Structure formats: structure tokens, C-alpha cells
Chains A and B, each alone.
Chain A
Amino acid sequence: AQKVTQAQTEISVVEKEDVTLDCVYETRDTTYYLFWYKQPPSGELVFLIRRNSFDEQNEISGRYSWNFQKSTSSFNFTITASQVVDSAVYFCALSGGNSGYSTLTFGKGTMLLVSP
């Protein structure tokens, strides 16, 4: 069975601090995809990034960066110079398993609060 663990339930930082959100996954698949989604206070789910299991290159998009390490089954997300607008719940998710790539297994989410 697949599993995604986000051990940090809630993180509070002050604006301009860097913050890393941890994600550890378990799967028996050799091919799988990892995702991060953002859920702002308005409630919608916003796609941030997709990574496949064959691509371990780190990725940077503006203030966001992702570190994928198969050796430790981790897919961590770092926000550099955090801003108040980054306040949201962030979900890590994994696709694959019995339903193929048609569904996701989610972690329980990390609530990030950025204060001015």
C-alpha cells in the first residue's frame, strides 16, 4: 500500500524566513509521480509541481524549490524568503499503485503560517 507522511502538522515563520516542508513516501512501484498542492484559505487546491520517479533533478521556480531524493524516499519543498501570501496548507501526494496514475494518495498536509 502507498503512504505519504507529512510529519509537520503546522509551521509558523516570520516573513522573509526560509522554510522547508517535509514529505516522505512509501510505494512498491518503480514508476510513480509525486506532487505538491497548495490550499490557500479560500479552499481551492492549486497544483504546484509534478515529479516522476526517474527524474531526481532538483527544481527551482522563483522562490520555490523542490528536493527529490529516492534514496530517502523524500520530496521536500522549500520556500525562500517567505511571504504572507504563502500562508496555506500544503499537501504532498503520490500517484501509482492499484489505480495506476488515475488517483492520488495524499499526506495529511502541513499548515504554514507566515506572519508579517
Chain B
Amino acid sequence: NAGVTQTPKFQVLKTGQSMTLQCAQDMNHEYMSWYRQDPGMGLRLIHYSVGAGITDQGEVPNGYNVSRSTTEDFPLRLLSAAPSQTSVYFCASSGGGMGQETQYFGPGTRLLVL
């Protein structure tokens, strides 16, 4: 079982460029979410999805776009990268049913925007 996978592991972008961070899970989890981690800030929720075709905004959604066309995949798109989006991005998934509330995280993507 691969669990939650994220690609790429590390990316450097120039201001204004766009890119997609990939996230996939093989646990048939309904819930998936994206967080960003900044020094001294903990993890903050960007967007989340409770199932294919359903997404919603979290605490810090501006500048990011998501879609959920399949249960397995939940890509995060940066429309026009800004230095403020330099961060470590984590994708997570959970089962969504009773007793399945634990979120499992991918290894993270470290993004540097110049």
C-alpha cells in the first residue's frame, strides 16, 4: 500500500508561473484535503473534498484551485505563483466513516517561489 503520495517533492517557480501539485491515495478514502505549513504557523487548511465532484474552501484558499474528478486524486493548482506561496504543502486523506476519522498525510511538497 502506497498510502498518500505527492509529487513533486520539491519545486522552484518564478513569480507568475502556474503549476499543479499532485496528490493520490490508494486507500479508497472519501475525504481529501490540502494544508500548507509555514514556520511558526502550524498547518492551515487550503481546500478540502468530501467526495468526487465536491470541494470546499478552507482557511487560506486564495490563489489556489482544486477539483476532484476521481476518488483517488486531488490536485492543487497554483494559478499565478507568488512569493507568499512559498511553503510546504501536505495532502491528507481519511475514510470519512465512523471510526475512520484519522487523517493520513503524504510526504509533502516543498515549494519555493522566487
Interfacial residues, chain A to chain B (CB-CB below 8 A): 4, 9, 33, 35, 37, 43-45, 47, 50, 91, 93, 95, 99-109
Binding site for A on B (CB under 8 A): 31, 33, 35, 40-45, 48-50, 56, 58, 88, 90, 92, 94, 96, 101-105, 107-108
28 A-B residue pairs with CB within 8 Å: A4-B42, A33-B101, A35-B103, A37-B105, A43-B88, A43-B107, A44-B105, A45-B108, A47-B104, A50-B102, A91-B42, A91-B43, A99-B45, A99-B50, A99-B56, A101-B94, A102-B48, A102-B49, A102-B96, A103-B31, A103-B45, A103-B48, A103-B103, A104-B35, A106-B43, A106-B44, A107-B42, A109-B42
Apart from A4-B42, A45-B105, list 5 A-B contacts with CB within 8 A: A33-B101, A35-B102, A99-B45, A99-B48, A104-B33
User: What's the least CB distance linking A25 to chain B, in Å?
Assistant: 13
